[in-house]
Structure 1
Amino acid sequence: MASGSTTDLICKLEQGELKGQVHKDIDGHPFLSFMGVPYAKPPVGELRFKPPRPPDKWSGILDATKDGNVCYSVQNDITAPTKGPILFGSEDCLFLNIFTRQLNTENLRPVMVFVHGGAFVSGSSSRITYGPEYLMTEDIVLVLMNYRLGVLGFLTIDDPSLEATGNAGLKDQVQALKWVQKNIKHFGGDPSNVTIFGQSAGSVSVHFLVLSPLTQGLFHKAIMQSGTVTCPWSRGRDTTQQIAQGCSCINTNKTEMLHCLQHTSKETLLAAQTKLLLQTVGAGAKAPFGPTIEVENPQALITKEPVDLIKSGKYNHVPLMFGYTDLEGILSMMDTDAQLQTKLEDPVPYSFRYDHGSEDFLKLRKKINQFYFGNDQSDFRNKEVAFKLITDVTFLRGIVQSAKAHATTSQQPVYLYRMSLDTDLNFLKKVLQFKSKGVCHGDDLFYLFKPQFVKFNPKSIEEKSIRRFVRLWTNFARYGDPTPQKDTLLKTHWSPMTDKEFHFLDIGEELVPGVDPDHARLRFWDDISKGINERY
């Protein structure tokens, strides 16, 4: 490891010099930390809604010892939900956190770049939540990024000349990967061995990056945790007219509308955004903000339907890992009973294209209720069944669909896992006070990252599980194979999927290989979707 104290740890880049810090992993071994590193120009003023620009140079030494600004969002504090939503953050938010063991070394390490979740409207790479102390027990370079959220990251105006055709938040991620390619050697990272991984909306982002022609050569492996492009919430709607109306920017001239929105206060923009978010209901609903298919233009991230790209094989062929928690829908404990019942009354994915209340919709809803609840009506009070239905509609079906489709067309291995591990580290489930069996959406994160508010006992199942998760993920980053050899942590082999055998690994207190996970539930959805030409 490079020598240096907290006052003289300097990394020299083309942009300028950075001052970092020395921290320790959970084993007490030192690593180097550089936080709040700008990877793009601040997307403010005339750059609002537009693709990111390369960063400016700075003079002097930039203090990289604390988190950079988070991107604007309206967020609820999950540990204090009664406080209500609050607006915080900045538009000047395109920063990276970088963790490494050694600077400027010839022994280059695998690089892992993480994309946070938050339904494309919230979240950040803050060290408060995403502490590196677990992953840095392995010899890697870890990078975490912020990217624009909500209306600021996903406004769509279908005039290429205005450079605001959508997906600015995803284009931020592309710019971050370009920055990594150019600079990561200074941090001891190998630009020819980069793994992108993400959870929830971050996982969907990773999947879009796999499918995008803009990212060729920018990464070499990809891990998708609880989200793919075929999940119903993975796609945004074109809500520009509604946002413009809420900001008093309605104009038949798109140039003037964009100019008006670029000069609207953040508070007004976020108020219009919040109004649209409150109108989104249903387990299978399409989100108001998120990735969209762009009109053809040189800066477009994606211009073709993701499902068609997967089937055609026209995407970045790298080793892929997909996975999910076994009861993702526990997250709906955050809803009121009325909100949960509303969600259950609209369980048909929007991709089926049935009008709400139509005869076809009502027939399908009846079949779904019969399968899950055993009668014609859903029942929000039967939480275990309700959360299983929400898991299947919102996450499981789309994730397995994507994994199977890639297993058919990919030239590289495709791995699938299900997380059933239920310990005291499952923080979200504990906060939501769900007592029955099952792993909540997001609880996988607490085995890869160390939040400041979570502790575990040495030599416990929690510690063993952390080390197992970290080993699987970093093995995949290093080799493209999560179990290249058996060791004291990994005593089984995880086989990749094929177009005929859908292998998976159940990650519980033990690692158990299997075939066709949750087969009966997925077969039900396969049966009821036959003959339906799904359009996303």
Structure 2
Amino acid sequence: MLGYLALLTAFSALACARDVIVNLGYAQYRGQELSNGVAQWLGIRYAAPPVGPLRFSAPQDPEDETEIQNATQHGSMCIRTSRYPAPEGSAEDCLFLDVYAPAGATGASPRLLPVYVFIQGGGFSSNGNPYNNGTGLVQASDMNIVVVNFNYRVGPYGFLAGSEIVQGGSVNNGLKDQIKVLEWVQSHIKEFGGDPDHVVLGGDSAGGASVTLLLSAYGGRDDGLFHAAAAESQSFANMLTVDEAQYAYDNLVNRTGCTGAGDTLGCLRDVDIDTLQRENIVTPFPGTQRRPLYMYGPVIDDNLVPDYTYRMFQQGRFIKVPVIFGDVTNEGTKFVPENLSSLSAVQVWLQAQWPALTSEHFSRINEYYLQVVNSTQPYPNSTRYWRPVSDAYGEIRYVCPGIALSGAYADANVSNWNYRYAVQDPDDEASGLGVYHVVELNAIWGPENVYWTDTVGTEPPASYYTSNADIIPIMQGYWTSFIRSYDPNTYRYQGSPRWEEWSEDERIFIRTGETRMESVPGNQKERCEYLTSIGVELRQ
């Protein structure tokens, strides 16, 4: 019923829509001003189709269009990994963005508006939230911001690496797509009433990882593409060098029948998309026994990505702008198998995610997380190992990196804020999922405005429409305040507590009716100090 009402509301707004055209130079796009006071342009092409000779290449400028383009439907999602045939609604030609702005805002407006550019997650394997509706954020800002969403290449289309790619194409193209969007914003956002000198970058999960990678891109070189950043569940996965990633290229060449070609990259570019997608599968990292959750991702290329993320921030090689980092309470529950039945199985699974994990590392992880397994409450369909391993995975990949990043910014005397999102849904607590990975998207965007394509996401918890509905204006207040002023407090929701900057490990604890500042617990701080100390060893 709730989904039906949301669709009915959207349909009613569209029924009263008025066409509005923007001229971007290379093309004119016809969007719509809706009756809710928000104008939207969907499916704007920001780069040329990355097909044929542009497959595995850096994004190029879009071609000029002489006719007015309709911008009333979302562009295709980028093709995900391990899904054959390619899911409906996805295509290799996928470099599109959406813009949401207050109706009537233009480049001639008396005041240009702050811009929020959001990078969706999906493990660099899929576009996890391709069509989040920016209406809720625009309205929560009192019609004072412009929101940009976009799709970027994932899997081998965005992150295949190897010597042949370096010589004849480009690596880290998914990240380069993101930079292309930021450059597009600098050139064109004024046409929508946005201020190119006030751009806030946001992202969740792999999008949060992208935020950290763009903060440290080119060794922290500031090209003026954004002026503040907010990362939700910033993800520190296993990172490979170009040479280490060669195995994935070689395997794909072999599986697609390109081994005997004189030009294997040219052969891969000529492979039809159906054949390529059939072989777009996840395989184990070299030296491991099982497949990781995510195989493809940014590689260290000694240029855009100079080094491991931990080392970049430890060395102060990052852009010094106001930032938010943070996580949910139960980051790992959406990822860890429920049937892990022994310590050896746990070690094999963790090493599949971080192949550099040694027996010595695992011994400490066992001490911190798994020695309590016999007293751990099992949940339906799970072993006693599930929640302890979820805690370990969540802190290794998400929580401890966020704490370390806040520490790095504090050491650099740059304003930064950290959060722990702890809003409990009764059904999720009973199932054991708890406050799961990126569930806070529902509160930031509004539960009716979040679009999920992954198992990482779900339908919004039912309580976000009932007992937890009050958390939505609080989260939207903090987020839109940060977008508008680089400070989550300036325009925060009336009555919500002040969110103090990170200092002495102080972060905000967010829960319906209980939001307050808290100190990082001593035992979590101890665990994170150890996990951060081995971060570079784990290739994070």
Shorter-chain TM-score bucket reads 0.7 to 0.9
For residue 190 of structure 1, what is the aligned residue in structure 2?
Answer: 195
Residue-by-residue CA offset, 1:43-81 (whole Å, 9 max, x unaligned)? 1111111110111221111000010111111477xxxxx
Q: Which residue of 2 aligns with 1:79?
A: none
Query: Could you say which residue in structure 2 is the equivalent of 1:451?
Result: 450
1:511 to 490, 515, 528: 515
Partner residue of 1:12?
23
Question: Residues 201-237 of structure 1, C-alpha deviation per residue, up to 9 Å, x if partnerless?
Answer: 1110111111113762000011110124xx2356686
Partner of 1:232: 237
Number of residue-to-residue matches in the alignment = 496
Taking structure 1 as reference, are residues 385 and 304 closer, same or farther at Cα in structure 2, changes over 3 Å only? closer
Specify the alignment match of 1:216 in structure 2.
223
Deviations 1:418-444 (A, max 9, x none): 0001247xxxx75xx853483000211
1:441 aligns with 2:437: yes
Q: Cα offset for 1:247?
A: 1.8
Please give the residue correspondences for 1:26-65 in structure 2 after superposition, counting only pairs within 5 Å.
29-65=36-72
Residues 384 and 251 of structure 1: CA distance in aligned 2, closer, same or farther (over 3 Å): same
- Counterpart CA distance in 2 for 1:41 and 1:85 is 24
> C-alpha displacement at 1:123, in angstroms?
1.7
Distance 1:372 1:270, change over 3 A: farther
> 1:126 is matched by which residue type in structure 2?
P
Partner of 1:134: 136
Distance in 2 (CA, whole Å) between partners of 1:262 and 1:457 is: 48
Aligned partner of residue 280 in structure 2, secondary structure? helix
Which residue identity lines up with residue 21 of structure 1 in the other structure?
Answer: Q
Distance 1:291 1:280, change over 3 A: farther
Change beyond 3 A, Cα 1:103–1:362: closer
Match of 1:10, SS state, is strand
Whole-angstrom CA distance in 1 between matches of 2:274 and 2:287: 21
In the alignment, is the contact (CA less than 8 A) between 1:372 and 1:389 conserved in 2? no
Looking at structure 1, the residues matched to 521 and 277 of structure 2 have their Cα atoms a distance apart, in angstroms, of 39
Q: Which moved more, 1:387-396 or 1:193-202?
A: 387-396
Query: For 1:268, which of 275, 278, 285 is the aligned residue?
Result: 275
SS where residue 107 of structure 1 aligns? coil
Contact kept, 8 Å, 1:203 with 1:227, in 2: the verdict is yes
Distance 1:283-1:199 versus aligned 2 partners, 3 A rule: farther
Structure-1 residue corresponding to 2:418: 416
Matched-pair contact (CA < 8 Å) for 2:373–2:384: no
Alpha-carbon distance in structure 2 between the residues aligned to 1:143 and 1:100: 9
Match of 1:392 among 390, 395, 399: 395
Shift of 1:469: 1.1
Change (3 A) 1:387 1:54: same
Instruction: Identify the match of residue 312 of structure 1 among 312, 315, 319.
Output: 315
| Superposition map of 1:299-378 within 5 A | 300-332=303-335, 335=337, 337=339, 342-343=345-346, 345-347=348-350, 353-355=356-358, 360=360, 363-364=363-364, 366-368=366-368, 370-373=370-373
Residues 1:73 and 2:89 are matched in the alignment: no
Q: Deviations over 1:320-377 (max 9, x none)?
A: 11010000112137x452599845654469769345xx5x35644543455442699x
Which residue of structure 2 lines up, in the alignment, with residue 100 of structure 1? 101
Instruction: Normalising by structure 1, report the TM-score.
Output: 0.82
CA contact (8 A) 1:73 1:149 kept: yes
> Is the Cα–Cα contact under 8 Å of residues 478 and 491 in structure 2 kept in the other structure?
no
Whole-angstrom distance in 1 between the partners of 2:398 and 2:75: 31
CA, structure 1 residues 346+422, in 2 after alignment: closer, same or farther (shift >3 Å)? same
The more displaced of 360-369 and 473-482 is 360-369
Indicate if the aligned counterparts of 1:222 and 1:321 stay in contact, CA closer than 8 A: yes
Q: Shift in Å at residue 513 of structure 1?
A: 0.6
How far off is 1:495 after superposition?
1.8
CA contact 1:283–1:347 (8 Å) conserved in 2: no
Q: Which residue of structure 2 aligns with residue 148 of structure 1?
A: 153
Identity %: 24
Structure 1 spans left out of the alignment, 5+ residues: 77-83
Contact residue 167 and residue 292 of structure 1 kept, 8 A: yes
| TM value normalised by structure 2 | 0.81
CA deviation map 1:13-38 (0-9, x unaligned): 212211111235xxxx3100000000
Q: Match for 1:140: what amino acid?
A: I
- 1:170 is matched with 175
CA–CA distance in structure 2, aligned partners of residues 340 and 264 of structure 1: 43
Structure 1 residues 436, 69: closer, same or farther in 2, change over 3 A?
closer
Shift of the 523–37 alpha-carbon distance from structure 1 to 2, 3 Å rule, reads: same
Question: Which of 526, 529, 535 is the equivalent residue of 1:526?
Answer: 529
CA RMSD of aligned residues (A): 3.6
- The counterpart of 2:259, out of the listed 244, 247, 250, is 250
- Give the one of 490, 498, 503 matched to 1:493: 498
Native 8 Å contact 1:330 1:434 kept in 2 = no
1:276 deviates by 1.8
Pairwise mapping of residues 399-410 of structure 1 onto structure 2 (< 5 A)? 399-409=402-412
The verdict on how the C-alpha distance between 1:167 and 1:362 changes in structure 2, with shifts beyond 3 A counting, is closer
What secondary structure does 2:138 align onto? helix
**CA pair 72-528 structure 1, distance change in 2 beyond 3 A:** closer
Find the aligned partners of 1:487 and 1:470 in 2 and give their Cα distance.
8
User: Are residues 196 and 372 of structure 1, via their aligned partners in 2, closer, same or farther at CA, if it must alter by over 3 Å?
Assistant: farther
Shift of 1:280: 11
Structure 2: 5+ residue stretches without partners:
1-14, 452-458
In structure 2, which of residues 119, 124, 131 is the aligned counterpart of residue 120 of structure 1?
A: 124
Conserved 8 A contact 2:112-2:193: yes
1:41–1:54 contact (8 Å) kept in structure 2 = yes
Q: Secondary structure at the match of 1:399?
A: helix
**Bigger mean CA deviation after superposition, 259-268 or 364-373:** 364-373
- Partner in structure 2 of residue 293 of structure 1: 300
Compared CA separation, residues 86 and 442, structure 1 to 2 (3 A)? farther
- What SS does structure 2 have at the residue aligned with 1:332? coil
Q: State whether residues 328 and 436 of structure 2, in contact with CA within 8 Å, keep that contact through their aligned partners in structure 1.
A: yes
Kindly state the Cα deviation for residue 267 of structure 1 after the two structures are TM-superposed. Answer: 2.9
